[in-house]
Each structure stands twice: as C-alpha cells, then as structure tokens.
Structure 1
Amino acid sequence: MRILIVGGGKAGRFLIKEFLKKGYDVTLIEQDVDKCLMIEEKFGIRVVNGDGSEAKVLEKAGIKDMDVVLAVTEDDQDNLVICQLAERQFQVPRTFATVNTPGNETLFEWLGVNVAVSSTAILSALVDQEVTMKDITTMFKLQKHDLSMVEITIKPGSPVAGKMIKDIDLPDETVLVTILRGNTALVPRGKTKIFENDKILALTHLREEKELRKCLNGDLQDTKD
C-alpha cells in the first residue's frame, strides 16, 4: 500500500512508525526543514519539504500514485483542504484526517473526507480496513443532521479583517468552505487572510451559526445576509 502523510509532528511520526512495521510504502510532506531532515534520517523514507495544502507540493510527493492520503497537521482547515484536493483533483480513493477541534469530525465527513477522527491510533487501525463515509448530499439532509451552509459577508471594521484563519477563534463545530473575493473563489487555508467584503461560505451546526456571525463581524452583524 502506498501512503502519503501530510504533517511531520507527533501524529505523523507515530503513523510512519506504524505503517513501516506493516511494510507499507510511506511518503511524508512537512513544512519544517529541520523536521524533514530528522524524519528522513530516522525512518529512511522519502520526505518532501513544502505546504501540503498546495496542489503542486502534493504532485511533487507523487499523490497521483497514492492509495491513501492522511492529513495530520495541527490545522483542521489545512487538513480539510488536503483531503479535498486529494479526492477531487487527484482522485485518491481514500483520505483520512486527524481532527484537532472536538466536534469537527461530523463536518469533515459531510465535506467529503472519508474518515475524520481525533485519535491517531484509531486512524492507523482504520487504514487497514475498507472504511468509507457518506459524501455531501443535499442541503435538506444537512439540515436533518443539524448542519447548515451559511454565507457571511465581512463588514468594514470587522474584528477578523486582516487576520489569518488560523488566528481566528472560530466556533468549535465550524469549517470554512470557500472565500468569495470579487470574482475569485479561494480555498481557505490556515494562513489565508480574511479581508473586508469577503463572502465566507461556512458549514456549521445550527446552534453555532449566531456565534459564527458574531465571531466574524462582532456587533456589526445584526441580521443574516
């Protein structure tokens, strides 16, 4: 089995060790140069230095030939982008992600990630099984599961304008799906900055929608867009 792991932290190193024991072919993507050198020396695997949420870096790592992609960075938003790119652009049959924020598992599943769990040990065991989850279906079905896709315009004077997504304290069970900036649709990553007049498409639990709107626009947002 050919496996691509994105993220060389504790979770990534644990998975590398487990998969090498099983004789799998493992490749790693990691942004930190020192970690890349350490992991390459320790485990003897191929390591690519770069941002795994970028398509060109995934291609460099040979994603087109992979059976499985695991996104285990410390940023849930980046993990989601990695899995979506793997499935939709590169047709990787199975994607897995660790979830750092409790409650995001369900959101990831509805956005197309095959399996999203908070435990790395469980993730390791699931790779050996034929595990699949439901794809995104209809908004009606999302509503049945207390999930809603919302659109929020960032108002002038917003407290998040100019901030990177990773520095914004979003509600626990919320994932940003798309940023509409003028005529351009952007894939939100942890380092993506939010600007005034951006339209944010987010998937969130119904009970979190009011908190999300307040998070993005403070007291400037009194009514829904």
Structure 2
Amino acid sequence: MKILILGAGQVGSSVAAALASENSDITVVDVDVGRLRDLAERLDLRTVVGHASLPSVLGHAGAEDADLVIAVTSSDEVNLIACQVCDTVFKTPTKIARLREMEYLQHPELIHRGRSSVDVAISPEALVCQHVQRLIEYPGALQVLDFADGRAQLVAVRAVLGGALVGHQIKELRAHLPVGVDARVAAIFRAGAPILPQGNTVIEVDDEVFFLADRRNIRTVMAELRRQEKPVKRIFIAGGGNIGRSLAKTLEAQFSVKILERSRERAKSIAEDLTNSIVLVGDCADEDLLREENIDQTDVYCALTNDDEANILSAMLAKRMGCPRVISLINRPAYAELVEGGSIDIAVSPQQVTLGALLTYIRQGTMVRVHSLRRGMAEAIEAVAVGDRRTSKVIGRGIEELELPPAATIGGLVRGEKLLIAHHDVIVEPNDHVIVFLMDKRQLPQVEALFRADATWI
C-alpha cells in the first residue's frame, strides 16, 4: 500500500512510525528539512521537502499512484486544499484530513466519501475530549475504548493493593463476578513490558490490566482490580483552548465544572458559550489561586493547555495540594512515559488518540476498528468475520481452533447486541465482530490474512 503523509509534526511522525514496520510504501512531505531528516534517520521511508498543497510537490511525492493521502499539517486550510488537489488532479482514491476548526466539521458537504475531496475528517480535539470524558466517567480507568459501536468496551486499570484479584490467578475472575457478568483479561503490562495473559497468570500490584466486558458491567469488573472509587462530582479544567472548552461544555450538565484560562478575552468568550460552568482567569501554576478554588476538594483536575511543561507542573501541584486524581495532556511521548503513574495519574497523548482513529481507516479488508494501546506498543483490533465456512478461515470454527500468531489473542466477539467472551467453546459465525489483541505489530499481516475471505480457500 502506498501512503502519502502530509505533515511531519507529532501526529504525522507518529503515523509514519506506526506504519513503517507494516510493509507500506510511505512518503512524508513537510517544509521543515530538520523534521524530515530526523524521520529518515529513524524510519525506512521517503521524504519530500515542500508545501503540501502545491500540485508540483504532491506530484513529486507520488500522489498520482498513492492509495491513500493523510493530510495532517498544522493548517486546516492546507489539509483541505491538499485533499482537493489530490482528488481533482491526481485522482487519489482515499483522502484523510485532520481538521481542528469545528466550523469545518459542522458542514458535512465538505466531508463526504465520494462526494467531496475529503473522504474522512479527523478532529484530534474532539477525539481527546471524548477520551478524557470517558476517563472521568469511569474513575480509576487509564483508557476506555469502544468496540462494535459501544456494545463492548476495553478498559485499562492499574491493579492496586487491596483489589480483590490482586495476588490471584486470572482464572479466578469468573468466580468473583456476579451471575450473568463475564469479562476477559486481554492484556497485561508489567513494568512497561507486555504479558500475554494465561489462566494461571497472577495479577500483581501496579500491573496495567486491560479487560474486555459489556459496557454495562465495566464498573463491576473494575471493582475486582481496584478499591471502590468515589463518584466524581467536581472537575477543574486548566486551559480554555478547543479541548478544554469542548470538555467543559460536554460535562457541565452532569458535573460541577470550573475552567481556568490565562487570556481574559478568551475567558470572556468561553463564559458566553457555557451555561453552567464557572470560568476563571489566571495561571494554572498559581498555587494561591488553586488553594482559593479549593483544589483539595476537587475530584478530578485536567491540565489541558497547549504547553506540556505547564500541564505537568500544574497537575503535579494540584496532586500535591490534595486533588485525588489528575489528568495531564502531554504531547511529547518521552514526557508521558516519565510522569504517568507517579504524581500524575494519567498522561493523555493527543497523537496516540488520533493514531487509533487513523489506523481504523488505513487498515485494509475486514478491520473496522483499531485502537493503539500503551503508546503504540500493542493494538486492539475489531475484525468482522465475512464469508462462510468454505471461504473463511474463522467462520464455523471454535476460538481454540483459530490459527492465531503467538502474540495475538481473542478477547471476545460481538454478535448482534450481545458480547460473547472468548471461551474455548465459542464458535465464530458470519458477521461476528471479533476483538483481537496483538502484542507484536510485526505479526499483523498474519491476523489480517486470518480474517480475509478468499473464494479459493478451502
């Protein structure tokens, strides 16, 4: 597959790194020679220097025979024009554009597969807002991901001392759960390294445990791995940018929300837009201001400014002053790895959240949903079983019969409205949504081949 990535910023670089090991022919375009040089030194790809919206640059980059264009420059307008040029001049089949301005997204005629120059629009701000909202709704969760339109959810939690299952084998989970509730531990990360869970695997303190369950049972399963968390009522948001503003607007009907913005003019604009939130003007690292606003009585502190250092420092300050749970937006992966799990409970990486959405459209065949886990170390994939027993390698076969690569495991499958946890006697049927966890992305081609229907396969 030939992929053209426009923009070598944080998102573009993350996408290039994620795809470089998957036998794709990748070309990256950017005006910054230094960024391109760094990418070329780290990854096996081609780079082109120039403005991403110019036909001459796109032609030189190979837009004419590209299968997919991903426009993720820092300018919405450049992304839109680049997709227009690729569509009208080079007839590129699929065009994905990152758009930050909500007004563009509110006009569907600009984004419509087959009827406009942009087939898919990705909004990092909207994705991050949704991601943080889920973390607030499920106290104690590190990641909450949807499959099959939300009928099943994958949740990551950190196992803590006092959790009912900590120190016990995974196979004991079913005995702890109420009748009618089922779940599957799909992945474990211990000291940053992935562990493929077996029935006799013992859950240890500080393990990052990913489990799959029906969305109605998530809190029940979480209680087995963590002490019961008190419900969230009060939220403090530092940063009134697009993400902070959208999050406050989403949450204010359900929670008591305060939002802090440094700019007085922007704070005034935010106050006019919100109906039930308190808008403050000031510095998120001002200890006196946080104390006056009773940060120790706040349930969740969200540092969502566009400055990594400010987010880290203010989140650490809020934690030290008594806020039980702090979430920080951090763009630099090295920073996120350094601080998460210490004084900062959750480090949210915009490029990793965006990467999962992009991978969903990049993966070929029956892969309908892809989530990036643990900053790209692993993936959770939703694949649809298509064909019949003659043409498919999975349909009509039990979970234990499937020829999965060593680093892959099946967590469950969604059939209609019901999630079936992947026990050995579950038989895959046509149109089942199968949820696969892959710990080594080098084995992705084997997973793709397993779910690919072939008229000649018997």
TM-score normalised according to structure 2 size: 0.27
Which aligned pairs between 1:187-198 and structure 2 lie closer than 5 A? none
Deviation at 1:102, TM superposition (A): 2.7
Which aligned pairs between 1:10-89 and structure 2 lie closer than 5 A? 10-89=10-89
- In 1, the alpha carbon distance for the partners of 2:105 and 2:65 equals 27
Deviation at 1:23, TM superposition (A): 2.0
Q: Assess if the C-alpha contact under 8 Å between 2:97 and 2:121 holds in 1.
A: yes
> 4+ residue runs of structure 1 moved beyond 3 angstroms?
none
Deviation at 1:36, TM superposition (A): 1.3
* Alpha-carbon distance change, 129 to 118 in structure 1, aligned in 2, over 3 angstroms: farther
Paired residue type of 1:117: I
- In 2, the alpha carbon distance for the partners of 1:104 and 1:112 equals 13
2:122 counterpart residue number? 117
Deviation at 1:11, TM superposition (A): 0.7
* Deviations 1:26-48, CA, capped at 9 Å, x for gaps: 10001011111111111131000
Deviation at 1:25, TM superposition (A): 1.0
The DSSP-based 3-state class of the residue aligned with 2:117 is coil
Q: Which has the larger radius of gyration?
A: 2
* Deviations 1:103-162, CA, capped at 9 Å, x for gaps: 4234330543000011422022212257xxxxxxxxxxxxxxxxxxxxxxxxxxxxxxxx
Gaps spanning 5+ residues in structure 1: where? 131-225
* Deviations 1:67-101, CA, capped at 9 Å, x for gaps: 00010001000000000100111000100011122
Which aligned pairs between 1:169-188 and structure 2 lie closer than 5 A? none
Paired residue type of 1:63: A
- In 1, the alpha carbon distance for the partners of 2:358 and 2:40 equals 22
- In 1, the alpha carbon distance for the partners of 2:123 and 2:26 equals 21
Deviation at 1:13, TM superposition (A): 0.6
Q: Assess if the C-alpha contact under 8 Å between 2:7 and 2:30 holds in 1.
A: yes
- In 2, the alpha carbon distance for the partners of 1:71 and 1:50 equals 14
- In 2, the alpha carbon distance for the partners of 1:68 and 1:103 equals 25
1:211 counterpart residue number? none
- In 2, the alpha carbon distance for the partners of 1:63 and 1:48 equals 12
- In 2, the alpha carbon distance for the partners of 1:50 and 1:70 equals 16
The DSSP-based 3-state class of the residue aligned with 2:102 is coil
Q: Assess if the C-alpha contact under 8 Å between 1:68 and 1:94 holds in 2.
A: yes
- In 2, the alpha carbon distance for the partners of 1:127 and 1:72 equals 14
Paired residue type of 1:66: A
**Identical amino acids, percent of aligned pairs:** 32
Query: Which structure has the higher relative contact order (CA within 8 Å, separation 6+)?
Result: 1
Which aligned pairs between 1:120-139 and structure 2 lie closer than 5 A? 120-121=354-355, 122-129=357-364
* Alpha-carbon distance change, 105 to 127 in structure 1, aligned in 2, over 3 angstroms: farther
- In 2, the alpha carbon distance for the partners of 1:89 and 1:5 equals 17
The DSSP-based 3-state class of the residue aligned with 1:100 is coil
Paired residue type of 1:97: A
Q: Assess if the C-alpha contact under 8 Å between 2:20 and 2:44 holds in 1.
A: no
RMSD over aligned Cα atoms: 1.8
Paired residue type of 1:109: I
Paired residue type of 1:128: R
TM-score normalised according to structure 1 size: 0.55
1:222 counterpart residue number? none
The DSSP-based 3-state class of the residue aligned with 1:104 is helix
Gaps spanning 5+ residues in structure 2: where? 125-353, 366-458
